[in-house]
Amino acid sequence: MNEVRKIPPITHLLYVRGELIIKEGDYGISIYKILKGRVRVFKTSNNIIIHLATLGRGEVFGEMTFFNLSLEPRSASVIAIDDVELEVSHSTRLIEEYKHIPTILRYMTKQFTNRLLNMNSVVETLNKKKRQKKKENEESELDERRYVRKKIYQDCIYRPVAHPSKLELRGVVKDISPLGLGIEVIAKNTINFSHDLGAHLKIKFRLPSGSSINEVAVIKSIKKSKTPGFLFLGLEFENIDKDAIKNIGFFIMMP
């Protein structure tokens, strides 16, 4: 005697606005028809949300599992945009009806589903490549800004790190980048205080934008300035504060 397969009944579910209905990666075989409200279908990749579709009354979602005729993870998430009412059917109910349609229609449906899945995979791959390219371009632009020094003429106060904080030597910042700066100092400052290569200087000044810079930098080069009696020091920041990097970056991008 053949066992009668019991088909689960159609049920109605209510979801409030913002509630997650289907989560990408979870398993499920239910198919949903929207009776009221709207939902959004989306995927996530590298913490980026990719909008796929907005569905409304009369439209169906969750059908991909049925057409695949296999238990696979949900390929996308669905969230309620409004308060929604859904008619939920178990795939078994539709499978019985699906078996009775002409073979050619089942074949066409399967072929269409495979093409759609392949297209979604291609689109997702292209989106990943596009985001990666954008990230690489942004990083490249950031690297360029780090090395580009912008001319500036700003008074500064500095001192060798080894000396007391009350010591104040005067100089002029002539160029700057997020990696370092160049300052012009009077040559006689070097008589009493070390200005050798590798020496650490504490430097304070304000950018034209008003941001205050108070950082330690290492002397990387020393040469005579075009101004008689002065030296030009090429400095590299050491452990510069993130806010200082951001403020210098904004200043460099200013026209």
- 30-45 pLDDT, tens digit per residue, is 889 999 999 999 988 7
Q: Are both 97 and 160 inside the same structural domain?
A: no
Q: Which pLDDT score is estimated for 4?
A: 47
- CA within 13 Å, CB half, 63: 13
* Angle in degrees, CA 133, 138, 235, rounded to 5: 140
End-to-end CA distance of the chain: 86
- Asked whether the CA dihedral 109, 115, 119, 120 is positive or negative, the reply is positive
Q: Are both 29 and 116 inside the same structural domain?
A: yes
132 located within any domain: no
Q: Are both 151 and 242 inside the same structural domain?
A: yes
> Pairing mode, if any, of strands 169-176 and 77-80?
unpaired
136 located within any domain: no
46 located within any domain: yes
Q: Are both 158 and 227 inside the same structural domain?
A: yes
**84, 104, 121: which is the final residue of a domain?**
121
How far are the Cα atoms of 150, 157, 179, 212, 223 from residue 215, in angstroms, in the given order?
A: 18, 11, 11, 10, 22
129 located within any domain: no
How far are the Cα atoms of 4, 8, 99, 109, 114 from residue 1, in angstroms, in the given order?
A: 9, 22, 22, 34, 38
Q: Are both 101 and 165 inside the same structural domain?
A: no
Task: Identify the residue whose tokens are 């009668």.
Answer: 4
Looking at the predicted structure, is the pLDDT value of residue 7 above 80?
no
- CA within 13 Å, CB half, 155: 3
CATH of the domain at 207: 2.40.10.220
**66, 87, 121: which is the final residue of a domain?**
121
Looking at the predicted structure, is the pLDDT value of residue 130 above 90?
no
Q: Are both 19 and 117 inside the same structural domain?
A: yes
227 located within any domain: yes
Q: Are both 16 and 115 inside the same structural domain?
A: yes
Q: Are both 34 and 116 inside the same structural domain?
A: yes
Q: Are both 174 and 214 inside the same structural domain?
A: yes
Q: Please list the residues that pair with 130 across neighbouring strands.
A: none
- Per the structure, how many domains does the chain have? 2
61 located within any domain: yes
Q: For residue 160, give its domain range.
A: 147-253
Give the percent of the chain with pLDDT over 90.
44
Confidence grade of residue 145 (pLDDT, cut at 50, 70, 90)? low
Residue 118 token pair: 């392949």
Q: Are both 113 and 191 inside the same structural domain?
A: no
Looking at the predicted structure, is the pLDDT value of residue 46 above 80?
no
Residue 114 token pair: 């495979």
Comparison of pLDDT for 63 and 117, the residue scoring more:
63
> Pairing mode, if any, of strands 20-22 and 48-55?
unpaired
- pLDDT of 222-231, one tens digit each? 999 988 999 9
Contact of 234 with 180, CB cutoff 8 Å: yes
Confidence grade of residue 101 (pLDDT, cut at 50, 70, 90)? confident
215 located within any domain: yes
Q: Are both 20 and 111 inside the same structural domain?
A: yes
Q: Is the pTM higher than 0.85?
A: no
241 located within any domain: yes
**104, 121, 138: which is the final residue of a domain?**
121
CATH of the domain at 26: 2.60.120.10
